[in-house]
Structure 1
Amino acid sequence: MRIRATVAAVSGALAISAFALPAAHAAGAGSSYRADVAKVREAAVAASGRTAFSTAAADTDPQPYPLDATFSAVKINGGKAIVVGAAAHVKVPFTYTMKHGADVDITAPDFATGAYVFKGDSQFFGDDPATCTATSSTVATCKGVIDFYPKSDDSTIDLTNASAGAVKSGVLAIALNGQDPSSSTFDITKVGLADQSPFASPNLQRLSQLTVDAAPEPVQKGKTITVTGKLSRANWDTNKYAGYAGQKVQLQFRKKGSSTYTTLKTITTSSTGTLKTTTKATVDGYFRYVFAGTPTTPAVNATGDFVDVR
Structure 2
Amino acid sequence: MRMRTTVAVAVGTLALTALAVPAAQADGGYGDTAITKVTVNGGKNVVVGTSLVKKFTVSVTAKDDSGIEGADISVHGPGFGYLSSRTTCSGSTCSATFTVDPKVDLPYSNDYAGTWYVDAWVDARDGDYVWTEKARSFKFQRASRQTVNASPEPVRKGRTITVTGWLSRANWDDFKYHGYTNQSVKLQFRKKGSSTYTTVKTVKTNNKGDAKTTVKASVDGYWRYSFAGTSTTPAATATGDYVDVK
- In structure 2, distance between residues paired with 1:241 and 1:67: 48
Query: 1:148 touches 1:159 (CA, 8 Å); kept in 2?
Result: no
Question: Which letter maps to 2:38?
Answer: V
- Say whether 1:130 aligns with 2:95: no
Structure 1 residue aligned with 2:243: 307
- In structure 2, relative to structure 1, the CA distance for the partners of 1:87 and 1:113 (3 Å cut) is farther
Local SS of the residue matching 1:167? strand
- In structure 2, distance between residues paired with 1:92 and 1:282: 46
- Say whether 1:167 aligns with 2:124: no
- In structure 2, relative to structure 1, the CA distance for the partners of 1:202 and 1:55 (3 Å cut) is closer
- Say whether 1:280 aligns with 2:238: no
Question: Which letter maps to 2:139?
Answer: N
Structure 2 residue aligned with 1:94: 58
Mapping for residues 1-310 of structure 1, pairs under 5 Å: 2=1, 23-24=3-4, 30=6, 33=9, 53-54=22-23, 71-98=35-62, 106=69, 113-120=71-78, 121-126=80-85, 129-134=86-91, 140-152=92-104, 157-158=106-107, 160-172=109-121, 196-310=132-246
- In structure 2, relative to structure 1, the CA distance for the partners of 1:55 and 1:231 (3 Å cut) is closer
- In structure 2, distance between residues paired with 1:210 and 1:105: 45
Question: Which letter maps to 2:22?
Answer: F
Local SS of the residue matching 1:203? strand
1:227-279 CA distance string (max 9 Å, x none): 11100111122222111000011111111111122222111001110111111
- In structure 2, distance between residues paired with 1:284 and 1:83: 35
Structure whose alpha-carbon radius of gyration is higher: 1
- In structure 2, relative to structure 1, the CA distance for the partners of 1:285 and 1:105 (3 Å cut) is closer
Measured after TM superposition, the shift of residue 31 of structure 1 is: 6.6
- In structure 1, distance between residues paired with 2:187 and 2:46: 27
- In structure 2, distance between residues paired with 1:295 and 1:142: 28
RMSD across aligned C-alpha pairs, in angstroms? 3.2
Local SS of the residue matching 2:52? coil
Measured after TM superposition, the shift of residue 116 of structure 1 is: 2.0
Q: Which runs of 5+ in 1 are unaligned?
A: 3-21, 34-38, 45-51, 57-65, 107-111, 135-139, 175-192
- In structure 2, distance between residues paired with 1:159 and 1:194: 36
TM-score, normalisation: structure 2: 0.79
- In structure 2, distance between residues paired with 1:23 and 1:84: 15
Query: 2:150 touches 2:164 (CA, 8 Å); kept in 1?
Result: yes
- In structure 2, relative to structure 1, the CA distance for the partners of 1:148 and 1:70 (3 Å cut) is farther
1:11-57 CA distance string (max 9 Å, x none): xxxxxxxxxxx5535xxxx3785xxxxx969x86xxxxxxx83577x
- In structure 2, relative to structure 1, the CA distance for the partners of 1:259 and 1:97 (3 Å cut) is closer
Measured after TM superposition, the shift of residue 199 of structure 1 is: 1.0
Measured after TM superposition, the shift of residue 292 of structure 1 is: 1.2
Local SS of the residue matching 1:161? coil
Local SS of the residue matching 1:163? coil
- In structure 2, distance between residues paired with 1:146 and 1:123: 11
- In structure 1, distance between residues paired with 2:232 and 2:171: 11
Q: Which runs of 5+ in 2 are unaligned?
A: 10-14, 124-128
Structure 2 residue aligned with 1:60: none
Query: 2:3 touches 2:83 (CA, 8 Å); kept in 1?
Result: no
- In structure 2, relative to structure 1, the CA distance for the partners of 1:71 and 1:263 (3 Å cut) is closer
- In structure 2, relative to structure 1, the CA distance for the partners of 1:81 and 1:157 (3 Å cut) is closer
